[in-house]
Amino acid sequence: MKTVFIGIWIILSGKVGTLNCFHENANTSVKGIGVIKKTPIPMTETSWEIVEGHYNLYYYKDYIMYKFNYRFDSLQNHQLVSQEMRYFYFAFHKDSLYGYTYYLNNTGFNNNGARVLKDSILQKHIFESKLFDTLAHLKPDSINNQANGYVKLYKNPPPPDSKPAIEEINIYFFYSNIFQDIPETFSKRMDQEKRMKLYKIVVKAGGGINKEFNMKLPPREYLLEMKKIETEDFSQELKYFKRYEQENKGK
């Protein structure tokens, strides 16, 4: 799959997830967002397949908790019987270097409720990247106002690897004051607007010829976005926040 990205200077790194906007449950004071990433993988010269990833994120008091997904394979006699998507929470204090994993549909994992170095989990699962940081010192080609914020457009920015571009690339950064109290970020350098939050990135690739692999890339669009979690019930999340709080009392 590596070859399909050659010639595109932006590669939206690794993880998969869904982002919903920002929502707070008045009864529990739990705040929640969801994060989504959509990456088009060229299949032919005119078509592509969307690979989607997502995770949710919750805030309660001084605690933060992610809900990540993973694929669970059932094997019998070393043969794959079934596959299903399962989930786990990762909770920690905002100032802590460590957090705790809580697996849903737990089937006896030894690491359920285990203490884990925070960075070892987040670096693997969240969508933050340094790929866009090089644009922070560049002037955007345009800034257009929209409801609660604005959009910055960078047309054909210089590739970070200095290789010649093989297609037109336009990158849109969406900012809003609705998300400004959310610490989650896609790019620390691009997320430093005063009283604004970078909540959405769209990369539009115009398509081109990859001479190295003799491959034509179709036009396609990448997406990273934060969205509102459409629920009033954070009771399950509150249960795990309380569990974490109880298990770490006095530590």
> Who wins on pLDDT, 63 or 163?
63
Name the one residue in this structure whose structure tokens are 């409801």.
147
Per-residue pLDDT tens digits for 63-116? 999 999 987 767 677 776 777 888 999 999 999 999 999 998 765 555 578 899
3-class SS string, the chain = CHHHHCCCCCCCCCCCECCEECEEECCCCEEEEEEEEEEEEECCCCCEEEEEEEEEEEEECCEEEEEEEEEEEEEECCEEEEEEEEEEEEEEECCCCEEEEEECCCCCCCCCCCEEEHHHHHHHHCCCCCCCHHHCCCCCCEEEEECCEEEEEEECCCCCCCCCCCCCEEEEEEEECCCCCCCCCCCCCCCCCCCCEEEEEEEEECCEEECCCCEEECCEEEEEEEEECCCCCCHHHHHHHHHHHHHCCCC
Q: Which of 3-12, 90-99, 166-175, 192-201 shows the lowest per-residue confidence on average (mean pLDDT)?
A: 3-12
Per-residue pLDDT tens digits for 30-65? 889 999 999 998 877 777 889 999 999 999 999 999
Q: What amino acid is encoded at 19 in this protein?
A: L
Mean pLDDT of 207-220: 83
Token pair of 52 as six digits: 């989607």
- pLDDT reading at 14 higher than 50: no
User: How confident is the model at residue 20, as a pLDDT?
Assistant: 41
pTM metric for this prediction? 0.82
Sequence spans of domains, the chain: 2-247
The rounded mean pLDDT for the chain is: 83
8 A C-beta contact, residue 179 and residue 21: yes
User: How confident is the model at residue 1, as a pLDDT?
Assistant: 37
- pLDDT reading at 208 higher than 90: no
Mean pLDDT of 172-176: 97
Mean pLDDT of 198-202: 97
Residues whose CB is less than 8 angstroms from the CB of residue 31 and which lie 6 or more positions away in sequence, other chains included: 22, 23, 24, 25, 58, 59, 60
User: How confident is the model at residue 73, as a pLDDT?
Assistant: 67
- pLDDT reading at 186 higher than 80: yes
Token pair of 49 as six digits: 């397949």
- pLDDT reading at 127 higher than 70: yes
- pLDDT reading at 7 higher than 50: no
User: How confident is the model at residue 215, as a pLDDT?
Assistant: 81
User: How confident is the model at residue 6, as a pLDDT?
Assistant: 32
